[in-house]
Amino acid sequence: ATDTFYAANTAGTYTLQVYLGSCSDTSNEASLKVNPLPASDFTRTGATGAICQGSSLELTALAIPPGWQYQWLFNGAEIPGADKRKYFANTGGYYSVRIRDANNCRKVSDEQLIINTPMGIPDLSPKDVVFCEGTTIKLYANAGPYAVAFTWAKDGLGLPDIGASILAAATGAYEVTATDIYGCKATSKKVSITAEPLPLKPVITQTGSILSVSGIYAAYQWYRNGKMISGATKSTLTLAFDGNYHVVVSGSSGCDNTSDTIVLKNLAVEEIRPAMSIKLYPNPAQSMVFIEAPIPVTLLLRDQQGRRVAEISRAQQVDMSGYADGLYLFTFYDEQGQVLGTQNIIKRTE
């Protein structure tokens, strides 16, 4: 070291010797002490280091003596005002802490990656469903691929179900809490499920050649030998043939109930018709469904909850563009009310 300046970085005793021609002189000794850097590290709550939606993650630096100082950094930049031992992170990124000791020595900890949980709030579907008593509706959690556990509740009380979907059979307000792979939990909004009561069971009374049902219902449909009688949609039915008769009635909500079967004999000679071949296309359908039959047919259309959607005489096509996506049952009858066949059609808009 032959300059007037020397950057010393090792502890020890230093002197400076100065030469002027053949003369020289040596300075007094100067002692140099090198202070060690302070330790700098921090921990985070939870084993996964994820920030749950709507909350923050607690970061805790090493305890230091009085007079020492903290400074938290996010992606390498100082966080204004973050100079306490604890810091609550609410944004994903790289975090570190710098500790300054009483000797003004500073050290920055290793960075730790903190992530925002990728799971959103579960979205229950379908919403605000009304269905007929005695049937069920399937509810889906729709929590995304990161959800690994589910707990369900109805009217605030826990249910035993733990899957991503359940079959709901009772009226109530349903919700689901999903837990993701990082242990974060999120609860859906409540959806209302209403099981409409069935109309009172109809009772058939026979007066001579007339069958009748007491009580007032929104709709009636008579059947003979299990087959719908075309046009028999009133509270009374005039008999023409022997057979087993029953009636299906609908309430104002569209839910049905069925009477007991009444057996009648010695009325007339039963007619027999051969089975018919009916074509129904396309399947799945987005809007129009076409019907090809060798004779005029009556169509009774029901949804997957069993509710009557439409009844069409001399049916040749059905416009389903206004119906919800799902499975529909097409039942065909001839003009005497005999069943010609049933087929399922899936309504799908995409």
pLDDT tens figures, 127-154: 888 888 888 899 999 998 889 999 999 9
| Per-residue model confidence (pLDDT) at position 130 | 85
Distances in Å between the Cα of 279 and the Cα atoms of 16, 283, 286 are 109, 11, 17
pLDDT at 272: 36
Question: Is pLDDT at 339 greater than 80 in this prediction?
Answer: no
CA distances from 125 to 105, 178, 188, 319, 346 (A): 59, 14, 10, 25, 19
The whole-number pLDDT of residue 275 equals: 45
Residue 268 above 60 pLDDT? no
pLDDT at site 50: 86
- Please name the residues in contact with 215: beta carbons below 8 A apart, sequence gap of 6 or more: 200, 202, 203, 249
Q: Which of 45, 61, 62, 52 is nearest to 91 (CA)?
A: 52
pLDDT, residue 100, reads 95
Per-residue pLDDT, 160: 92
- pLDDT, averaged across the chain: 86
Is 335 a residue whose pLDDT tops 90? no
- The model carries a pTM of 0.55
